[in-house]
Chain A
Amino acid sequence: MKFETPQTVEQAVALLAADSGARVLAGGTDLLVRLRAGHIAPSAIVDIKHIDGMGEITQQADGGWRIGAGVPCAAMGEHAGLVADYPGVVEGAELIGSTQVQGRCTMVGNLCNAGPAGDSVPALVAAGAMVRVAGPNGTRDVPVLHIPTAPGKTSLAKGEFVTSVYLPPRGARGGDAYLRFIPRTEMDIAVVGCAVNVILEEDGTVACAGVALGAVAPTVLLVAEAAEALIGTKCDDAALAACAAAATAAATPIDDKRGTVAFRKDVSGVLARRAAKLAYVRAKGD
């Protein structure tokens, strides 16, 4: 096994395209576990953290945010500007693992690991986040929603890797939230996760919304019906109830030791209602 430290995106793409056994290393909190367990035997490890921008969180000219693929989740929580604009995205990212794992793990790694229960993914999907994908044919911007295709599978082609996440400009009246259900208080895998992102009119009416569910389908779900239940309302009880019902209806979970189908569907609605309320309060800023 080789260890490569490309200095540019082009070098990294060339290494990945030339060797189908090569694996990308960012935070390593999934890769090293699988390596040690013998589940993978890569021919090369390509550490992308030496490439410019991989460790950066930068506000773009349009007011949106670009978060490099090597940014550890702990660094997101320490970034006051990002936390102010996207508290839900940050709270999802900060739920992954322990303090020590937070020091290494990345949102892009969580996304490309393609686990159905990845905690940082629903809030990105609810916010309409994009990722920048570099590959042999140049770069393309792809909605986060379209990266995972099945548990453990992504839409990335050979030689491609994600270089950054882009969050759209927050604007004057926007807010988001991510909530999950786990049987303990920390360090666990979501039984259900739900993120809501809302943007309000001046009078407090919801102009635009995104509702995303994790852990209740093979990939993260963007639930249009749940978002439509909020749009045009001030998140009153009737709107929240309709949002919850739509989330429950959209969830297609499996039965396993951590939760039954019926329980997960019910909790999907509960979390959608609570996350919508919290996102709305944050968007209003009072």
Chain B
Amino acid sequence: MSRIHVSTTINGDDVDYLCEAGDTLLDVLRDQLDLTGSKEGCASGDCGACTVRLDGRLVCACLVLGAEAEGRSVETIEGMAEGEELHPLQRNFINKAALQCGICTPGILVAAKDLLERNPDPTEEEVRYWLAGNLCRCTGYDKIIRTVLETAAEMRGAA
């Protein structure tokens, strides 16, 4: 059977690919486009390791079909830094050691960036609820939550 031709935008670049009807966006990103920053944890929308933005909205790439990206805009962790310049969240996650094994980190960074763009001054409770769909089995979350809050404060100060 013929594969589906998809024209989409990923991190601002026009991208074309061919996929099967059952391929998820995560399959396409990782296996075809070598954008392996988005991780597959559960493949059922529970863990958030594959979090990307689709037309400006956070989604799990494992719960989107590759064919659905036609004509839409996808943002992944690979588009978060400006060239060599890390996003403040990325820089602070490293500096403040808000990660251990790192598998959940790309999804958490994408989700946290989206939160701070919508709400530059979230409460701790708001951060915890917003990131409830991003599971981390290493850190116990405390450093992650604190780093998001500290980065929010830093970004507000810089603005």
Q: Nearest CB to that of A4 among chain B residues?
A: B21
Q: Check: B16 CB closer than 8 A to any chain A CB.
A: no
Q: Are B24 and A32 in contact (CB under 8 A)?
A: yes
Q: Which of B4, B20, B51, B65 lies in contact with A100, CB distance below 8 A?
A: B51
Interface stretch, picked from B75-83, B126-134, B141-149, is B126-134
Cβ–Cβ < 8 Å partners of A37 in chain B: 44
What is the CA–CA distance of A175 and B27 in the complex, to the nearest angstrom? 44
Q: Are B21 and A101 in contact (CB under 8 A)?
A: no
Cβ–Cβ < 8 Å partners of B136 in chain A: none
Given contacts A3-B67, A100-B111, A101-B133, contact A32 B57 (CB under 8 A): no
Q: Check: B116 CB closer than 8 A to any chain A CB.
A: no
Cβ–Cβ < 8 Å partners of A36 in chain B: 24, 43-44, 62
What is the CA–CA distance of A25 and B24 in the complex, to the nearest angstrom? 13
Q: Are A100 and B24 in contact (CB under 8 A)?
A: no
Q: Check: B64 CB closer than 8 A to any chain A CB.
A: yes
Q: Are A97 and B64 in contact (CB under 8 A)?
A: no
Q: Check: A128 CB closer than 8 A to any chain B CB.
A: no
Q: Which of A5, A25, A99 lies in contact with B132, CB distance below 8 A?
A: A99
What is the CA–CA distance of A15 and B58 in the complex, to the nearest angstrom? 30
Given contacts A29-B45, A98-B132, A99-B130, contact A1 B21 (CB under 8 A): yes
How many interface residues does chain B have, given as a range?
20 to 34
Q: Check: A35 CB closer than 8 A to any chain B CB.
A: yes
Given contacts A25-B65, A28-B64, A187-B132, contact A100 B59 (CB under 8 A): yes
What is the CA–CA distance of A20 and B67 in the complex, to the nearest angstrom? 22
Q: Output the least CB separation between A64 and chain B (Å).
A: 26
Q: Are B133 and A33 in contact (CB under 8 A)?
A: no
Q: Check: A103 CB closer than 8 A to any chain B CB.
A: yes
Q: What 0/1 pattern do residues 43 to 56 of B give for CB contact below 8 A with A?
A: 11100100100100
Q: What 0/1 pattern do residues 90 to 118 of A give for CB contact below 8 A with B?
A: 00000001111101100000000000000
Q: Are B132 and A2 in contact (CB under 8 A)?
A: no
Q: Check: A87 CB closer than 8 A to any chain B CB.
A: no
Q: What 0/1 pattern do residues 88 to 127 of B give for CB contact below 8 A with A?
A: 0000000000000000000000010000000000000000
Q: Are A28 and B65 in contact (CB under 8 A)?
A: yes
Q: Which of A2, A72, A97 lies in contact with B45, CB distance below 8 A?
A: A97
Q: Nearest CB to that of A2 among chain B residues?
A: B21
Q: Which of A32, A97, A186 lies in contact with B65, CB distance below 8 A?
A: A32
Cβ–Cβ < 8 Å partners of A74 in chain B: 57
Q: Check: A45 CB closer than 8 A to any chain B CB.
A: yes
What is the CA–CA distance of A33 and B45 in the complex, to the nearest angstrom? 8
What is the CA–CA distance of A49 and B103 in the complex, to the nearest angstrom? 32
Q: Are A47 and B68 in contact (CB under 8 A)?
A: yes
A31-90 contacts to B, CB under 8 A, are: 32-33, 35-37, 44-45, 47, 49, 72, 74
Cβ–Cβ < 8 Å partners of B54 in chain A: 103
Q: Which of B1, B20, B60 lies in contact with A101, CB distance below 8 A?
A: B60
Q: Output the least CB separation between B129 and chain A (Å).
A: 6
Q: Output the least CB separation between A203 and chain B (Å).
A: 39
What is the CA–CA distance of A246 and B15 in the complex, to the nearest angstrom? 59
What is the CA–CA distance of A248 and B63 in the complex, to the nearest angstrom? 38
- The 7 A-B residue pairs whose C-beta atoms are closest, nearest first, are A98-B133, A3-B21, A103-B57, A1-B21, A103-B59, A186-B132, A3-B67
Query: Could you give 11 example pairs across A and B, Cβ below 8 Å?
Result: A29-B63, A32-B65, A35-B22, A47-B68, A99-B133, A100-B48, A100-B63, A100-B133, A101-B45, A101-B60, A104-B60
* Sample of 12 more A-B contacts, CB < 8 Å, known A32-B62, A33-B45, A100-B45: A2-B21, A33-B44, A36-B43, A44-B21, A97-B45, A100-B51, A100-B58, A100-B59, A100-B63, A100-B111, A100-B133, A104-B60
